[in-house]
Amino acid sequence: LPPLPPAFHDLYASTVRTTPHDSPALHQGRTRTTPHVPGHWPSHLYLEWHPPAAAHAALTSLLSSLRAAAPAVEVHSFLTSDLGAPLPLHVSLSRPITLTTGEKEGFLREMVGAVGGVGGGPGWELVGDGVEWHRTEESGRSFLVMRVREARSAGGEGRANSNPNPGLTELLRRCNAVVEGHGQPGLYEWAFGEGEEAVGRAFHVSVAWSFAEPTEEVRRVTAEVFGEERARARVRAMRIGVDGVKVKIGNVVTHVPL
């Protein structure tokens, strides 16, 4: 079958709420970092990626190998839904933020103005650049993340003090300016204090998650599974096109072209 038009995914980006209250039982035990409040809209800025069949199969296979090598750790995949349908992944350009009803329209208008002039030109792509665990204390979860770098910067891997994602860094700087203007915390604030290279190396796609804290043994096994030569080649062959920012406010997603 032909692929669905991109706008279709924006219309059905959220599942139907079956209860007015947050229920961890409906989300594999997860709880919201910021509890839902009527009149406040959970929001997020990101680049969306629908992995093609080859990338989806490669990541699924590598996750299966990781589960087999570390059976004591329960790993939940972001790649498929509970019914086995492929799911989109994303590169975050904001933390989970909250907007009031009165802020929604102005926030979206400001985002359109802020990011409309950014872009790497036709064919701006990100490539996979290694997989590792990252722990976030605020959510109490560990995330298996695939680092990304701009394809046009791929030749600079060996250079010291080089930012692998100059375009994404500028895009994030503009997104943070709008977010912080609405009294919300920016993304990767810690990295901006360490320099542009640190910011550039923070961008990633989350592939899976676990409540378990990754031990040295789990990190070692993960490095073996994803560091094997063929696995590295499969990850680096993945391409993520960058043509616009998704602005998700509540359950409404708007695509803002670059």
| Residues labelled catalytic | 90, 204
Q: Which of 145, 121, 152 is nearest to 242 (CA)?
A: 121
Q: Which amino acid is at 236?
A: R
CA dist., res. 131 & res. 154, Å (int): 16
Sign of the alpha-carbon torsion through 251, 199, 62, 154: positive
Q: Which of 50, 53, 62, 51 is nearest to 230 (CA)?
A: 62
Q: How far is CA 80 from CA 83, 150, 210, 234, 253, in A?
A: 8, 26, 15, 19, 20
Q: Which of 206, 176, 248 is nearest to 10 (CA)?
A: 248
CA dist., res. 41 & res. 100, Å (int): 6
- 241 beta partners: 125
HSE, side-chain direction, 13 A CA sphere, residue 254: 15
Q: Which two tokens stand for residue 79?
A: 């790649």
Q: Which of 179, 169, 156 is nearest to 120 (CA)?
A: 169
In this structure, what DSSP letter does residue 199 have?
H
